[in-house]
Amino acid sequence: MPGRGDGGPHRGTQKALTRQLRRSEADGLVTRRSYPEAPARAEYRLSEAGRSPHELLDRFCAWGDRYARDRGYAIVKPGAEGGEPWLPTSTTDW
């Protein structure tokens, strides 16, 4: 029965995430910090190489914002009350 003695219903998802994070670490996109705790715990952060695309993405978002404004399109923030128009200023706004 799922959730009893088999690691829970999200065990497969957790394994897939761990596998992807380890690949990203091997590729130099994230750094991993392990903590000597039980149960095991690790923290992942973007490395410099992993953060490098953000400048490009920020510029792409700025282009999209200008494109939308120039054409009179409204951008709605995800989850905004009443669908109020909103323009992101960077990729961190998402």
Nearest to 25 by CA among 47, 7, 4: 47
pLDDT value at residue 27: 96
Judge whether 33 and 21 are in contact, CB under 8 Å.
no
Q: What is the pLDDT of residues 68-89, one digit of tens each?
A: 888 988 776 665 565 555 555 5
Report d(CA 51, CA 28) in Å as an integer. 11
Q: CA dihedral defined by 69, 70, 72, 73, rounded to 10 degrees?
A: -50
Closest of 90, 94, 66, 67 to residue 80, by C-alpha: 94
pLDDT value for 94? 46
- What is the mean predicted confidence (pLDDT) over 47-72? 88
